Structure formats: C-alpha cells, structure tokens
C-alpha cells in the first residue's frame, strides 16, 4: 500500500492515520509562517519544504534510527495541514515507500543468525523408502549439524521444503524446537503447489510441516518451472550466513546452489558445512558443477566450532 498525505480538515481521517504536523516528532522544523512551533523561519512554503527534504534525505542515507522510525509511516495515511499543496509529508511518504518490506529487512538484518539447507532428493540419499541404513545415518548427521548451529547461536532455519534433505532438515529443526523453543523454522516455497504431484503420503508430510513452521514464504507465483527452484535457493542463501549441504558432488540444483554459495562466501561471510554422503548412496560418478554467474573462488568448507 502506498503511503499518502491528506489534509486534516479535508474529508474523513482514518482511525490508523499518523499525524505528522508540528507537535509530533514528524513535524517540519522549517516554516514560512509566523507564530508556529517551527525551529527555523524561512520566506516561502517551497523553501520550508526544500529544507526539510534535504534534511530528511540526509537522515535516510546516514541515520539507521531514522530509517527504522519511518516504518511507522510506511503504507499509512499521513495527516497534516498543507495537502493538496506541497507538504513535508510528501517527502516522508516517498522515503517510507522506498524502505524494503519489513519481513525482508528483518531477515536480511538477522542473516548472521540464519542457517539454510541444500541437498538432494531421496533417490540420492538412500532411496524413497527411508527405512534404510544410509538414510538413517544421514538424518543423524544432519540432526547433529543443526544442533551445532543452534549452540553456535543460530536461531532461524530456512528450508526449501523439497523431498529428501529439505524435509529431513525441517523435521529435525522442529524436533530441536522442543528443546530450544526460541529457534524458528522458515519454509521457503519456490511456488504454490510444489507438492501437487508427489505421492499422497509425501504431500501429507509436507502439509504437516507447513502447519508447524513459524513462517511460510512463497517465492514465486504458482506453476512449475525449473528456474523457480534455483531462485528459491538463491533467496535462502542470500538471507543466511551458514548453509548445511547434503551434496554428493553431482550436477543438478544442489550443485548449482553449492557453487553459488562458494561464489559469494568470502564477500558475504557465508560458511558452508558438508555432510558426507556415503558412496553407496551415489548412483552416478560425481561431476563438477560450474555456477553460471560470478567465478566461484576456491573456498574450503568451514565448520563452526562448538
């Protein structure tokens, strides 16, 4: 919703409108009128608005506290006495609308406490029938890596909710949540209906996890295309400082994601931890995947200490 400015005396004022006139913290410090609460006197309305605009834009660039406070105005109706004439409120509305959405801002701000996952589907993790030693071993290893992340102060865990590694990670986080109640599970879905062609049992498992997740994000509109899965992976990595990977070295979406992590690891301070896939689970010889973007530096995996 766009932030708008109205005149206090023109029409109905919504109950959740924000008063930005003098007497509030949003009042213009400059005025061309006499007998006002303004700190500074200028000759014209235009000059008063110009001075406020210059000040507010400088605050927006350099003052995090000011930017944070602007969220109080974002999407609201601002009430003053000038509209439809030029008003300092028009500057506040423009700057408020330039802020990122609060949810996205929060996730990016908390990146250093956020972990995500990338890994294979069940066919490369022992098989779709998970009652086998390979799958059980990998689940135990993944569960332990998530514990390490939690005790290293990670609180937010993002899963792409595909079958296999993503699903195991989500279930592990929910299990640890019984012991560490302050951690959160975020489901990042590439598109609505991702599970529609899965077996019914897998669909029910998927829906059960979503009902228990703290937040569900749909990254793109409904309908399958392969690039939406890759964009989902990038969305998760761009909000994380730790990636726990179940990767056998083969080509595909997981390999693409791993090499994207490697390409930004140094600049963005992102760690990646690999859970070793037993050779018995690998159905094809591993191949090197090249990320189609910035050259991937040779970044060795790093494990966070306990």
- How does DSSP assign 73-98, residue by residue? TTTSEEEES-TTS--HHHHHHHHHHH
H-assigned helices in the chain: 45-62, 64-70, 88-98, 102-109, 133-151, 165-177, 200-212, 226-237, 253-268
pLDDT at position 23 is: 86
Three-class SS state of 295: coil
Strand order in the sheet with 184-191: 215-220, 184-191, 156-159, 114-119, 242-246, 271-274
User: Which of 159, 174, 146 lies closest to 119 in space, CA to CA?
Assistant: 159
User: Cα separation of 71 and 74, whole Å?
Assistant: 5
Report the 3 state secondary structure along 21-74: CECECCCCCEECCCCCCCCEECCCHHHHHHHHHHHHHHHHHHCHHHHHHHCCCC
Whole-number Cα distances in Å, 11 to 7, 73, 78, 90: 8, 20, 13, 18
Residues with pLDDT less than 70, the chain: 102-108, 280-306
Domain(s) of CATH 3.40.50.450: residues in the chain: 105-281
CATH of domain 105-281: 3.40.50.450
Helix (H, G, I), strand (E, B) or coil at 241: coil
């Amino acid at each position: 919703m766009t932030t708008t400015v109205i005149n206090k005396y023109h029409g109905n004022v919504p109950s959740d409108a924000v008063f930005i006139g003098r007497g509030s913290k949003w009042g213009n410090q400059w005025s061309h009128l006499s007998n006002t609460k303004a700190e500074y006197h200028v000759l014209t309305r235009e000059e008063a608005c110009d001075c406020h605009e210059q000040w507010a834009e400088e605050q927006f660039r350099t003052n995090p506290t000011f930017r944070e406070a602007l969220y109080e105005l974002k999407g609201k109706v601002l009430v003053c006495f000038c509209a439809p004439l030029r008003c300092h409120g028009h500057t506040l509305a423009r700057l408020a609308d330039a802020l990122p959405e609060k949810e996205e801002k929060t996730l990016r701000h908390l990146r250093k406490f956020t972990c995500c996952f990338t890994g294979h589907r069940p066919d490369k993790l022992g098989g779709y029938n998970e009652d086998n030693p390979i799958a059980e071993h990998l689940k135990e290893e993944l569960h332990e890596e998530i514990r390490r992340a939690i005790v290293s102060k990670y609180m937010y865990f993002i899963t792409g909710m595909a079958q296999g590694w993503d699903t195991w990670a989500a279930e592990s986080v929910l299990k640890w949540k019984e012991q560490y109640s302050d951690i959160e599970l975020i489901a990042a879905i590439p598109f609505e209906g991702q599970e529609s062609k899965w077996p019914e049992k897998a669909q029910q498992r998927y829906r059960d996890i979503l009902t228990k997740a703290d937040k569900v994000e749909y990254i793109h509109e409904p309908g399958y295309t392969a690039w939406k899965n890759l964009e989902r992976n990038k969305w998760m990595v761009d909000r994380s400082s730790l990636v726990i990977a179940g990767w056998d070295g083969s080509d595909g979406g997981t390999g693409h994601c791993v090499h994207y992590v490697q390409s930004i690891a140094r600049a963005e301070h992102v760690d990646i931890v690999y859970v070793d896939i037993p050779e018995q689970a690998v159905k094809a010889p591993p191949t090197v995947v090249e990320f189609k973007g910035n050259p991937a530096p040779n970044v060795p995996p790093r494990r966070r200490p306990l």
